[in-house]
Chain A
Amino acid sequence: MYVRHLSLIDFRSYPSAEVPLGPGVTTLVGLNGQGKTNVAEAIGYLATLGSHRVATDAPLVRFGAEQAIVRGAVVREGRESLVEIEINPGRANRARLGRSPVSRPREVLGQVRSVLFAPEDLALVKGDPASRRRLLDDLLVQRQPRWAGVRSDYDRIVKQRSALLKSAAPVLRRGGRGRRVPDGIPEGEARESALHTLHVWDGHLAGLGGQLLYARLRLLRDLRGHLEHAYAELSGGAGEVGAAYRASVGEALAARIAAGEVPEIEELSGGLTAALGAAQAQEIERGQCLVGPHRDDVLLTLGGLPAKGYASHGESWSLALGLKLAAYELLRTDLGTDPVLILDDVFAELDAGRRERLAGLIADGEQVIITAAVPEDVPDSLAGQRFSVTKGAIELVVDDE
């Protein structure tokens, strides 16, 4: 698929912008702070309803404006459709498909699919586990939109359970009998009741957590081959890459999972239930939810050593890029159509050899959008249309030759 035309109104630095795009490679060139990344971000927003740079929508709206609109004409297998999202910070966003509004913005998910690589993605290798979990979960949603619902339900369960652990901690910790808590219920009874309620949330967490864990493990299994291939291509065959899932379940099950096995959902839910039981005292002590997919991580290794801490900057960059390219390849084979590949400011950090090899890897993508501050950083083999971005104005560069 490709985005044929992108319209922005009050999005980031653009009061309004019309960007005619097309299949193949498009490069946006401009100095720092001119608004190149904003274009990449807008396409990413159409695909994921979120920004890769900020967690809230407010910064996406041009300073002083009330709302922002991102509209894209998307061509998929020769058919064009129009997707429009109205970003209303503090209120519900609205979306349109074609000319008609949809009841929930989530319904437009899947109309545009994209894989975006940006400097922030270095956190995939160097950052905390949350960024690696997000990579897997976002990819799950891109493959099957149903996971957006499972994920938000799961998050809500974790929030509710954590709130319970915090509020009930005084009652749960003491567990003494005979004394009375303020509202006149005997303490032993209050403790019993709090434990029963906790048990209900345990069941919810293990049930939905097992599903989420299963989905992530299957995804990682599918992703691994693509990652090995992408990294080997990028690095010119240096170093073997590994990605092992670290689950917060009992040791034996966790070891099998780390070795790449994908147990059935029932077994994973059972494992979570057991782990919750084992961690209960500690959870009550700390008033935190310590078990579940929201605490998991993916251990990335290069040549057998953990990438975090051991890998050089260039290697980390290549590994993060490799992960995104693997996601791209996965979606490509999965969906039967190429997602839009967006590479934001990626070439500046790579040596000449890696630049050329990256160019070779992506040249056949249906649509590739590249941003660069220095045009010379982008290998010549990636010809295509080129825009210059200056102070929020986007202009097509026409070669004189």
Chain B
Amino acid sequence: MYEGVVQDLIDELGQLPGIGPKSAQRIAFHLLQADGADVQRLITALAEVKEKVAFCTMCGNIAQATLCRICADPRRDGQAICVVEEPKDVVAIERTGEFRGRYHVLGGAISPMDGIGPEQLRVAELMSRLASGEVVEIILATDPNIEGEATAAYLARQLKPFGLRVTRLASGLPVGGDLEYADEVTLGRAFEGRRLIDA
């Protein structure tokens, strides 16, 4: 145990995900020795993230205004919406640069065990976005696990009356990987989703 305030800092850091007691201690001592201005910048960043960051009223992504950067961008294609579970998924898909439409962040997946049903997710908000008739395609990009698949199936059913093109991301082999290292389930899925090759 260290002197009061140092131990407080270590305890607080230890609460963060992915940081154990040893790492917390290292970070605490790093901060103690760091330049005053550096620490001040960190303090400001922490305070501002709570103050300024809100959630986009349209898609539920992290935003600094009422709309997030993507929803506010007029160059994005308003005809396609990609539905994801978490804001981190938006970042992951943005990194691909493949998708030029907009997003919808559900805030999780259907999981009755954790008390999460469609009402706890931003499903109603998704439906209201479709009212304008601009959207023609919905891409369901929930995680490829039991809960993500259930969420996708639920949404597909809810979306049916709208007569949109509803697609689901493909599952299969990782690019650049070796076939021999794929687990049986992934390989099985890849077999199911195989496609004709043009020659």
Residues of A within 8 A of B (CB): 104, 144-146, 149-150, 153, 156-157, 159-161, 163-164, 167-168, 183, 185, 190, 193-194, 196-197, 199-201, 203-204
Contact = CB atoms under 8 A, between A and B. Distances in A.
Given A156-B146, A160-B146, A183-B119, A200 B112 contact: no
A146 B153 CA distance: 23
Given A146-B185, A204-B146, A199 B157 contact: yes
Interface of A is mostly: helix
* 6 shortest interchain CB distances as A-B pairs: A164-B112, A163-B112, A146-B184, A149-B185, A163-B113, A200-B154
B46 to A, nearest CB: 32
Contacts of A159: 113
Given A157-B146, A163-B113, A193 B118 contact: yes
A150 B183 CA distance: 12
A144 B149 CA distance: 24
Given A157-B146, A160-B112, A161-B112, A204 B117 contact: no
Contact of B184 (A149, A157, A190, A199): A149
Given A153-B146, A160-B113, A200-B154, 15 more contacts: A144-B184, A145-B184, A150-B185, A160-B112, A160-B146, A163-B112, A163-B113, A167-B117, A168-B117, A183-B119, A190-B119, A196-B154, A196-B158, A200-B153, A204-B150
Interface string B150-194: 100110011000000000000000000000000111001000000
28 contacts: A104-B183, A144-B184, A146-B184, A146-B188, A149-B183, A150-B185, A153-B146, A157-B146, A159-B113, A160-B111, A160-B150, A164-B117, A183-B119, A193-B117, A193-B118, A193-B119, A196-B154, A196-B157, A196-B158, A197-B110, A197-B112, A197-B118, A197-B154, A199-B157, A200-B110, A200-B153, A201-B112, A204-B146
Given A163-B112, A185-B119, A196-B118, A204 B158 contact: no
A200 B113 contact: no
A197 B184 contact: no
B150 A201 contact: yes
Contacts of A164: 112, 117
Contacts of B185: 146, 149-150
Contacts of B133: none
Contact of B153 (A144, A190, A193, A204): A204
B77 to A, nearest CB: 29
B115 interface: yes
Contacts of B143: none
Contacts of A193: 117-119
Contacts of A200: 110, 150, 153-154, 157
A196 B121 CA distance: 14
B147 interface: yes
Contacts of B183: 104, 149
Interface string B80-102: 00000000000000000000000
A74 B101 CA distance: 55
A199 B153 CA distance: 9
Q: Which of A146, A167, A197 has the most CB of B within 10 A?
A: A197
A203 B153 contact: yes
Given A200-B157, A204-B150, A194 B117 contact: yes
Contacts of A160: 111-113, 146-147, 150
A146 B117 CA distance: 30
A377 B149 CA distance: 55
A272 to B, nearest CB: 16
Contacts of B118: 193, 196-197
B184 A204 contact: no
B98 to A, nearest CB: 28
A168 B120 CA distance: 14
B35 to A, nearest CB: 39
B21 to A, nearest CB: 16
A156 B150 CA distance: 12
B115 to A, nearest CB: 7
Given A146-B184, A185-B119, A194-B117, A204 B149 contact: yes
A144 to B, nearest CB: 8
A203 B185 CA distance: 19
Contacts of A153: 146
Interface in B41-86: none
Contacts of B117: 164, 167-168, 193-194, 197
A193 to B, nearest CB: 6
A190 B117 CA distance: 11
Contacts of B153: 200, 203-204
Contacts of B112: 160-161, 163-164, 167-168, 197, 201
Nearest to A198: B112
A160 to B, nearest CB: 5
Interface string B100-130: 0000000000111101011100000000000
A265 B153 CA distance: 20
A200 B149 CA distance: 9
Nearest to A107: B183
Contacts of A199: 157
A312 B118 CA distance: 54
A70 B102 CA distance: 52
